[in-house]
């Protein structure tokens, strides 16, 4: 999947996250989270899984998380990526 | 269900917003790009506005405070703001509300008396990262210049200040609210200081004398609110910009004309030493009997008096004024 424009998904609510994606030369994932110390690596795993599944290799993903669960992370990341891809 | 804040578009909705904002002792400000709100059974219970990259007028009905209202407002405003091309947002609020914003991933930049300034989107980090390569060792100073346009007075200030430090950072005010646009003000400053080898020029972004930190500078009003904004602006500089560049001296021209700038200098004199920064006030350069100021240049320009302008600006600025106007 080719990322051709900026897009976002999610909310700033507790137990949710905001995902921002934009076109980039390589893969770059930036994570802000209220539970960054404990869970950054797990959040990153979830994001990378979605990227693999959609075959996205060139994108900047910025995440601002407030303790979202795995399924919320996956759904928000996938939504943002699909919004940012070529139609 | 997660509450969703919606744009308030009709006159009636905006009147609801105004009432809610004023009921909480806040002033309703016209001129917002977006106004959003949250309804509960047809009643507006939370509202906030966005002007460019500044989020403001957050007002939440007491019964709905401490819940999801703030997140809903911030989500809606930042989404609209991002669609308008911004990627970081500042918010002014009272210190007692700062924690609520911090829960929504805002970062507290400055707390000063009754005001707190927070940012969401990591703009300050990106700004400092992008300029990290300009960091020099040694005793460093800074001057913040609008340069509207760049005069012999500015040039004298830069030359005199540069003599007293290893590196002088000259921050050109980024905000485009002046007669001359940023690109022109920056280029004129660059041309007029090129001969001073230890000057590093950079833009302030939104982190000094901007609509986010110090709107009164552009409005030229002198009141309590302006003084609070000055304090926020000075603390932001002292706590974030100065340490990033190793700045221990701030240089200003003494201010005989503009009350706002004179008051700003006083605030700096009070606050900067608390952060280990010395304020150095330099006597303004004169042309004839009067001090040089950009205001005088603009006044002369308005009546096409180039004989006066010639005595006030460097050749580079003069050439620009001749060819561009």
pLDDT tops 80 at residue B325? no
Q: Would you say B189 and B147 are in contact if contact means Cβ atoms under 8 Å apart?
A: yes
**Coil, helix or strand for A25?**
coil
What whole-number distance in Å separates Cα of residue B143 and Cα of residue B137? Answer: 17
ipTM exceeding cut-off 0.85 for this assembly: no
What whole-number distance in Å separates Cα of residue B277 and Cα of residue B274? Answer: 7
In a domain, A75, yes or no: yes
Overall number of domains in chain A: 1
In a domain, A55, yes or no: yes
Residues 6+ apart with CB under 8 A from B243: none
Residues of B in contact with A36 (CB under 8 A): none
The whole-number pLDDT of residue B225 equals 76
Q: Where are the domains of chain B?
A: 6-121, 126-324
Range(s) of the domain holding residue A77: 7-84
What whole-number distance in Å separates Cα of residue B139 and Cα of residue B168? Answer: 9
Strand A17-22 and strand A7-10: pairing? antiparallel
- Which pLDDT tens digit goes with each residue over B207-256? 887 776 666 555 555 577 788 888 999 999 999 999 999 999 999 999 88
Hey, of A11, A21, A22, which one would you mutate to test binding to chain B, going by the most B CBs within 10 A of its CB? A11
- Report the DSSP beta bridge partners of residue B290: B287
Tokens (6 digits) for B54:
């500044």
Per-position b or e across B70-101, b if 16+ CB within 10 A of its CB: bbbbbbbbbbbbbeeebbbbbbbbeeebbebb
The whole-number pLDDT of residue B170 equals 97
Q: Element (H or E) spanning A41, and its range? A: helix A36-53
What whole-number distance in Å separates Cα of residue B215 and Cα of residue B233? Answer: 10
Residues 6+ apart with CB under 8 A from B90: B53, B54, B55, B109, B117, B118, B119, B123, B206, B212, B213
> What does R_g of chain B's alpha carbons equal in angstroms?
22
In a domain, A2, yes or no: no
Of A6, A8, A12, the CB nearest to B105: A12
Q: Do the chains contact at A34 and B105, CB–CB below 8 Å? A: yes
Q: Extract the residue ranges of chain A whose pLDDT is less than 70.
A: 87
Q: Which one is the CATH code of B6-121: 3.40.50.720, 3.30.470.10, 3.40.630.30, 3.40.190.10? A: 3.40.630.30
Average pLDDT, chain B: 91
Residues 6+ apart with CB under 8 A from B285: B152, B153, B156, B157, B291, B292
CA quadruple B127, A62, B98, B49: dihedral sign: positive
How sure is the predictor about B66, in pLDDT bands with cuts at 50, 70 and 90? confident
DSSP secondary structure, B183-198, as one string:
HHHHHHHHHHHTT-TT
- Which pLDDT tens digit goes with each residue over B255-294? 888 888 888 899 999 999 999 999 999 998 888 878 899 9
Query: Mean pLDDT over residues B3-17, rounded?
Result: 93
Q: Which of B100-114, B161-175, B235-249 has the lowest mean pLDDT?
A: B100-114
Higher pLDDT, B108 or B221: B108
Helices (H), B135-284: 152-163, 182-193, 216-219, 224-236, 242-245, 259-271
In a domain, A60, yes or no: yes
In a domain, A39, yes or no: yes
Higher pLDDT, B106 or B257: B106
What whole-number distance in Å separates Cα of residue B300 and Cα of residue B34? Answer: 39
Q: What is the CATH number of the domain that holds A61?
A: 3.30.230.10
Q: Do the chains contact at B68 and A13, CB–CB below 8 Å? A: yes
What whole-number distance in Å separates Cα of residue B226 and Cα of residue B5? Answer: 31
How far off is chain B from A7, nearest CA to CA, in Å?
9
In a domain, A1, yes or no: no
In a domain, A11, yes or no: yes
Hey, of B75, B119, B124, which one would you mutate to test binding to chain A, going by the most A CBs within 10 A of its CB? B75
- The arrangement of secondary structure in B126-324, i.e. its CATH architecture, is 3-Layer(aba) Sandwich (3.40)
Residues of A in contact with B75 (CB under 8 A): 10-13, 18
Q: Do the chains contact at B105 and A14, CB–CB below 8 Å? A: no
Hey, of A5, A8, A13, which one would you mutate to test binding to chain B, going by the most B CBs within 10 A of its CB? A13
């Amino acid at each position: 999947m080719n990322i051709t424009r900026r897009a976002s998904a999610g909310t700033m609510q507790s137990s949710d996250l905001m995902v921002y994606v934009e076109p980039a030369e390589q893969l770059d994932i930036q994570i802000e989270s209220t539970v960054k110390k404990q869970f950054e690596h797990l959040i990153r795993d979830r994001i990378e899984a979605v990227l693999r599944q959609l075959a996205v290799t060139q994108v900047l993903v910025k995440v601002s998380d407030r303790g979202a669960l795995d399924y919320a992370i996956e759904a928000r990341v996938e939504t943002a990526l699909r919004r940012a891809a070529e139609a | 269900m997660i509450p969703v804040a919606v744009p308030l578009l009709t006159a009636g909705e905006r009147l609801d917003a105004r009432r809610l904002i004023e009921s909480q002792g806040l002033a309703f400000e016209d001129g917002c790009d977006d106004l959003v709100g949250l309804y509960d059974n047809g009643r507006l219970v939370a509202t906030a506005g966005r002007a460019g990259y500044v989020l403001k007028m957050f007002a939440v009905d007491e019964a709905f405070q401490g819940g999801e209202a703030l997140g809903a407002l911030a989500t809606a405003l930042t989404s609209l703001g991002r669609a308008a091309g911004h990627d970081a947002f500042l918010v002014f609020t009272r210190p007692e509300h700062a924690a609520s914003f911090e829960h929504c991933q805002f970062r507290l930049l400055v707390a000063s008396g009754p005001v707190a300034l927070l940012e969401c989107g990591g703009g300050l980090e990106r700004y400092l990262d992008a300029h990290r390569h300009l960091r020099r060792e040694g005793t460093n100073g800074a001057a913040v210049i609008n340069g509207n346009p760049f005069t012999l007075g500015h040039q004298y200030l830069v030359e005199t200040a540069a003599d007293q430090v290893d590196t002088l950072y000259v921050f050109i005010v980024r905000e485009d609210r002046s007669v001359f646009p940023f690109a022109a003000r920056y280029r004129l400053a660059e041309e007029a200081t090129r001969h001073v080898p230890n000057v590093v020029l950079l833009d302030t972004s939104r982190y000094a004398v901007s609509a986010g930190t110090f709107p009164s500078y552009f409005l030229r009003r002198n009141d309590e609110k302006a003084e609070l904004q000055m304090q926020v602006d000075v603390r932001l500089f002292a706590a974030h910009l100065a340490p990033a560049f190793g700045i221990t001296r701030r240089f200003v021209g003494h201010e005989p004309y503009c009350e706002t700038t004179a008051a700003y200098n006083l605030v700096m004199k009070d606050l900067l030493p608390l952060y280990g920064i010395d304020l150095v006030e330099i006597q303004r350069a004169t042309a004839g009997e009067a001090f040089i100021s950009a205001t005088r240049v603009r006044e002369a320009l308005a009546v096409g008096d180039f004989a006066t302008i010639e005595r006030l600006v460097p050749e580079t600025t003069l050439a620009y004024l001749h060819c561009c106007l």
